């Protein structure tokens, strides 16, 4: 049975709001966890346990003046953060969070839109999102922003290659580009993290670099530089860039869960699959915490180390992984 269009609309509305909420509380959770890892409390003033901190931050960002450099090119300058935030949000729409249910005779899929090329769509949206960073830096008409956006661009483009290659193994094993199909396949066989462990490691590292987080946070490098491409941004425009970064992180965690850890599926206990979103969120949370843990533990890479690691280590290993997987898939 096919899902009627208005259910998709309701789902899209719900998911986008939940995603924004998740983004807000990811920032809270990150600051909290990072604080505890550094023997600090983290935010604890706004509300109980600092739970109102994201809302306070939002109010502050919206009320703050959105500084506008006189020399900036208007349209690209304003559009850039919007593009980044939009693509990040849109990418989540193809990530499945449940097996699908039947409510009052209506079919409800466990994904906002079930497209057959979901994986390509995610990568395509990610690549468009990079434009936001590049154009934002360029349109600011400031040499530091431009240098920052070049740095960001170089990093994101280099790691995108290995990122795309590392999921090739999963695609070959799942024999589909649709993320729902890949999850179903893992449900039928086993989580792809076991046969595709190398692919998982590459995807994980590449993903951390792609979402520009520590130890690959050279685009921002907050302890060394003022900022990267968003030097000339302030107020909620800056907030949109930050939002794009965090939602990319959530999307990345969602992708890892979907591609390698069976998405909403729990092994052995079939009847728990109906509660898919809970398991999905749980797994998502584990990976987001892992990213925060990494941020607390690892020092930032140097630029040449970053490039060397991306091109000379990750890319060959990813290629080899894809080749070996292809070989076994054909053979078996």
Partner 1 sequence: MPQPLDTFKGFALTFRQIFKKPLTQQYPEYKRAVYPRFRGRHRLWRHENGLEKCVGCSLCAAACPADCIRVVAAENTPDHRVSAGERYARIYEINLSRCIFCGYCEIACPFDAITLGNEYELSEYDRDDQIYTKDMLLAEPIKKIPVQDSELYDTPIPYYKSHS
Which of 117, 198 has the CB closer to partner 1? Answer: 198
Phi, psi for 73 (deg, rounded to 5)? -80, 120
Sign of the dihedral defined by the CA atoms of residues 245, 249, 254, 256, in that order: positive
Q: Which helix (H) or strand (E) holds 320?
A: helix 315-331
Task: List contacts with partner 1 (CB under 8 A).
Answer: 33, 35-41, 293, 296-298
Query: Which residue is it, tokens 């079930």?
Result: 114
Which of 86, 311 has the CB closer to partner 1? Answer: 311
Q: Which helix (H) or strand (E) holds 308?
A: helix 303-308
Which of 41, 49 has the CB closer to partner 1? Answer: 41
Which of 33, 172 has the CB closer to partner 1? Answer: 33
For residue 178, give both structure tokens. Answer: 């649709």
Shortest distance in whole angstroms from residue 293 CB to partner 1? 7
Which of 73, 289 has the CB closer to partner 1? Answer: 289
Of 8, 20, 81, residue with least CA distance to 247: 20
Shortest distance in whole angstroms from residue 42 CB to partner 1? 9
Shortest distance in whole angstroms from residue 35 CB to partner 1? 7
For residue 211, give both structure tokens. Answer: 């979402």
Which of 37, 161 has the CB closer to partner 1? Answer: 37
Of 99, 284, 113, 92, residue with least CA distance to 187: 99
């Amino acid at each position: 049975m096919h899902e009627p269009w208005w259910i998709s609309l309701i789902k899209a509305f719900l998911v986008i709001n939940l995603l924004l909420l998740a983004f807000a509380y990811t920032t809270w959770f990150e600051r909290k966890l990072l604080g505890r890892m550094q023997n600090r409390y983290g935010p604890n003033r706004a509300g109980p346990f600092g739970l109102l901190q994201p809302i306070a931050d939002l109010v502050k960002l919206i009320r703050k003046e959105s500084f506008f450099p006189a020399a900036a090119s208007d349209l690209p300058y304003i559009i850039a953060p919007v593009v980044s935030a939009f693509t990040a949000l849109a990418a989540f729409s193809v990530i499945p969070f449940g097996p699908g249910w039947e409510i009052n005779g209506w079919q409800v899929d466990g994904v906002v839109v079930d497209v057959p090329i979901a994986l390509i769509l995610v990568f395509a949206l990610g690549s468009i999102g990079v434009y936001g960073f590049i154009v934002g830096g360029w349109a600011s008409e400031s040499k530091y922003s431009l240098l920052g956006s070049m740095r960001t661009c170089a990093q994101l483009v280099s790691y995108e290659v290995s990122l795309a290659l590392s999921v090739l193994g999963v695609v070959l094993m799942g024999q589909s580009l649709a993320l729902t199909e890949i999850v179903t396949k893992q449900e039928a066989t086993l989580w792809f993290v076991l046969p595709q462990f190398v692919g998982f490691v590459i995807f994980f590292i590449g993903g951390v670099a792609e979402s520009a987080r520590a130890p690959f946070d050279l685009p921002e490098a907050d302890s060394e530089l003022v900022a990267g491409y968003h030097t000339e941004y302030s107020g909620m425009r800056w907030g949109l860039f930050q939002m794009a970064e965090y939602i990319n992180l959530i999307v990345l965690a969602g992708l890892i869960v979907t591609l390698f850890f069976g998405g909403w599926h729990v092994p052995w206990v079939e009847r728990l699959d109906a509660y898919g979103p809970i398991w999905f969120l749980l797994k998502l949370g584990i990976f987001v915490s892992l990213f925060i843990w990494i941020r607390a533990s690892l020092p930032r890479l140097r630029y040449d180390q970053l490039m060397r690691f991306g091109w000379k280590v990750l890319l060959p290993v990813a290629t080899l992984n894809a080749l070996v997987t292809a070989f076994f898939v054909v053979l078996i």
